[in-house]
């Protein structure tokens, strides 16, 4: 089952916020969590549910529930005195959003536009599995305002996909990439490496096949074995080997080499794009500390200095939104120290995002040592930016700890 929600302050039933003096000064996005999957992948601890786990709520009703929360959000922001802003980015994640009919996703997007307005040229993304879309659904999404699709490719190697419990045929990936391109959609391929039993040669095969599809964007994330997942239990029992950190580092370096040679530039530790225009603007909004409202069961939000998260089960979520109450399960107000820590933690991962002037004096004094150890780029530092080298990206957590200690 999905991991537990954080422990924090109770959330008021009216959802009202106490905005700080800078409320409304950053861009505003919307995340829509669609918590449905056909099967549960053994490595996943996201808030997702198969048909047998829904207990008293129908998947067909979800779009209406999401629209209810969007209308509630409009009222909350207005009553809280948060300045109205049009939406810069929208991201439908999951789960598998395209388990819903494309018409339902378009209905939710239309509600977002009717509520706040969507800026011209906004990025509107949906995640999808290669076996959850076809030509007709992609045409409906594009006509309804979607601009981007992010496919969960994960691997091109059958035995790796089997270990991950992924059910799609890897030969379908080029087909659905082409179908999306025919509709004028930007395409991202999402990969996972260091799966138990995956070799460096397997990983090279996946990279080569991803590049052969010529996507606009590639994400490559190292597998994390989470406690409480089916894979976590198998690793604990010795039925699967734990990921090897040294092999994972080799795989990251291979990805950077292969993607770089194919014309993709890294812009965040785990993300590469064919030029700045194809970077994920929605994900960048998280790393840059923008505001967003998260719609759906278990979705997280951050607006005007307050962060909250919704109840997790779709039935509990439906009961809240249909009664006109906030679906939030808990919330926290971000103090100055937390904001600083999170700013350094997230901005350091993005190429050129963190200015040395943002660091505290002690941290600025450590930058020279990080440059000497090959973890921070010296030429970028001369320009006033903290930019990780490739070795620094491999040790990003350690670099951030040093900047925060």
Where exactly are the structural domains of the chain?
28-287, 335-405
Number of H helices, E strands in the chain: 15, 14
Stretch 344-373: mean pLDDT: 98
How confident is the model at residue 5, as a pLDDT? 54
3-state secondary structure of 23: coil
Are residues 377 and 387 in contact, defined by beta-carbon separation less than 8 angstroms? yes
Spatial distance between the Cα atoms of 243 and 326, rounded to a whole number of angstroms: 40
Q: Would you place residue 10 in the very low, low, confident or very high pLDDT band (cuts 50, 70, 90)?
A: confident
Nearest to residue 11, comparing CAs of 279, 284, 325? 325
Nearest to residue 91, comparing CAs of 144, 145, 45, 29? 29
Are residues 244 and 235 in contact, defined by beta-carbon separation less than 8 angstroms? no
Stretch 141-168: mean pLDDT: 97
Nearest to residue 302, comparing CAs of 313, 314, 288? 288
How confident is the model at residue 7, as a pLDDT? 57
Spatial distance between the Cα atoms of 140 and 125, rounded to a whole number of angstroms: 14
How confident is the model at residue 44, as a pLDDT? 87
The tens digit of pLDDT for each residue in 268-292 reads 999 999 999 999 999 999 999 999 9
Per CATH, domain 28-287 is 3.20.20.220: no
Decide if pLDDT at 3 tops 60.
no
The tens digit of pLDDT for each residue in 11-65 reads 999 999 998 878 889 999 999 999 999 888 888 888 899 887 888 889 999 999 9
Q: Would you place residue 1 in the very low, low, confident or very high pLDDT band (cuts 50, 70, 90)?
A: very low
Widest CA span in the chain: 59
The tens digit of pLDDT for each residue in 164-188 reads 999 999 999 999 999 999 999 999 9
pTM passes above 0.75? yes
Q: How far is CA 389 from CA 192, 194, 303, 314, 368, in A?
A: 22, 21, 32, 43, 14
The tens digit of pLDDT for each residue in 201-256 reads 999 999 999 999 999 999 999 999 998 899 999 999 999 999 999 999 999 999 99
């Amino acid at each position: 089952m999905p991991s537990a929600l954080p422990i924090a302050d109770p959330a008021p039933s009216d959802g009202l916020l106490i905005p700080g003096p800078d409320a409304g000064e950053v861009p505003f996005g919307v995340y829509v969590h669609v918590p449905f999957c056909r099967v549960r992948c053994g490595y996943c601890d996201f808030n997702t549910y198969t048909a047998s786990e829904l207990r008293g709520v129908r998947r067909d009703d979800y779009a209406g529930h999401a629209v209810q929360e969007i209308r509630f959000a409009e009222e909350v922001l207005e009553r809280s005195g948060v300045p109205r802003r049009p939406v810069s980015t929208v991201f439908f994640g999951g789960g598998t959003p395209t388990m819903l009919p494309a018409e339902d996703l378009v209905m939710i997007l239309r509600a977002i536009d009717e509520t706040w307005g969507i800026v011209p040229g906004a990025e509107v993304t949906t995640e999808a599995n290669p076996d959850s879309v076809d030509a007709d659904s992609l045409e409906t999404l594009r006509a309804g305002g979607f601009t981007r699709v992010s496919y969960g490719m994960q691997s091109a190697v059958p035995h790796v996909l089997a270990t991950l419990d992924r059910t799609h045929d890897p030969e379908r990936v080029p087909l659905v990439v082409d179908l999306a391109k025919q509709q004028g959609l930007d395409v991202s391929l999402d990969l996972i490496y260091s799966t138990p039993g995956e070799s460096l040669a397997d990983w090279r095969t996946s990279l080569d096949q991803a590049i052969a599809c010529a996507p606009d964007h590639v994400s490559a994330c190292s597998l994390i074995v989470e406690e409480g997942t089916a894979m976590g239990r198998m690793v604990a029992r010795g039925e699967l080997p734990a990921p090897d950190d040294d092999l994972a580092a080799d795989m990251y370096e291979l990805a950077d080499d292969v993607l770089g040679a194919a014309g993709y530039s890294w812009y965040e530790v785990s993300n590469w794009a064919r030029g700045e225009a194809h970077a994920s603007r929605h994900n960048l909004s998280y790393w840059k500390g923008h505001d967003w409202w998260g719609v759906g069961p278990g979705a997280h939000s951050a607006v005007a200095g307050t962060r909250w998260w919704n109840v997790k089960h779709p039935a509990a979520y439906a009961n809240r939104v249909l009664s006109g109450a906030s679906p939030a399960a808990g919330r926290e107000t971000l103090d100055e120290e937390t904001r600083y820590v999170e700013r350094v933690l997230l901005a350091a991962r993005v190429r050129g995002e963190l200015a040395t002037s943002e660091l505290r004096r002690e941290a600025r004094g450590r930058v020279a040592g990080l440059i000497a150890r090959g973890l921070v780029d010296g030429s970028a530092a001369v320009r006033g930016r903290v930019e990780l080298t490739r070795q620094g990206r491999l040790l990003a957590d350690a670099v951030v700890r040093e900047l925060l200690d």
